[in-house]
Amino acid sequence: MSGDTATPVALITGATGGIGSAVARRLHREGMRVVLTSSSSRTQGERLAKTLAPNASYVQGDLTDPADARKLVRAALSQFGRLDLLVNNAAAFAHIPHTDLAAATPEVWRRLLDVNVIGVWCTIEAARVALEDSCGHIVNITSLAGVRPMGASIPYAVSKAALGHMTPLLAKALGPSVRVNAIAPGFVATDRTSGWSEVLASVESSAPLRRAGTPEDIADAVVALHSATYVTGQTLAVDGGLSLL
């Protein structure tokens, strides 16, 4: 265990993707120690942790497995001695036209709900005691698709809506010792969305801020919510104003 037991510690799931890595870097710049996790991309995760060393570590795990979720939390406590912030960013994704009901098979539904809802639940349950000890904070990364009837697929949108509703329920259940909030990104330019030129053009022409979001925009929002210590049970839309349309 690190000899420093005072500096806050954040655990970020899905930390090797565009948003997750931006959140990790930003929290690190804010002075936090960070534990990075992903179910794959181990090499990428270890490389990112190395660039943030010595105040970072990487642990691979499948968050839909309660034993793995507990392993990740134990790793954070073993490495750094505490846990103050859990950012649930890991997510499964499916791009299916909403009218193509046949393509949204039960297997697709189960995979997305397993990762985007049950995996988050497993991680929160595993981290609960450590977060209570630190009067910590949970930030769930949902989606504008979970708030408005839109998104890459109906199963994805429904899974994010479930996570959005889980947020205030947990805020009531875990208060006053743990705060729980969510961020609902709109269209964010990442490797995953790099081929969505038509969607990007629509966002740039119609969103009040006339641009797509960046992973750094979401990282800024995580920091802002974490510092707003009288806020719990809320979902912050970070969407350039798309939800106003």
Using the CB atoms, write b or e for 59-94: b if 16+ within 10 Å.
bbbbbbebebbbbbbebbbebbbbbbbbbbbbbbbb
Non-local (6+) Cβ contacts of 169 within 8 A are none
Look up residue 50 and give its DSSP letter: H
How many C-beta neighbours within 10 Å does residue 40 have?
10
Question: Is the preceding omega at residue 97 within 30 degrees of 0, hence cis?
Answer: no
Helix 215-227 vs helix 18-29: crossing angle, to nearest 10: 50
Q: Which of 156, 157, 181, 207 is catalytic?
A: 156
**Residue 230 annotated to the active site:** no
Cβ 225 vs Cβ 167: under 8 Å: no
SS3 3: coil
The set of catalytic residues is 156
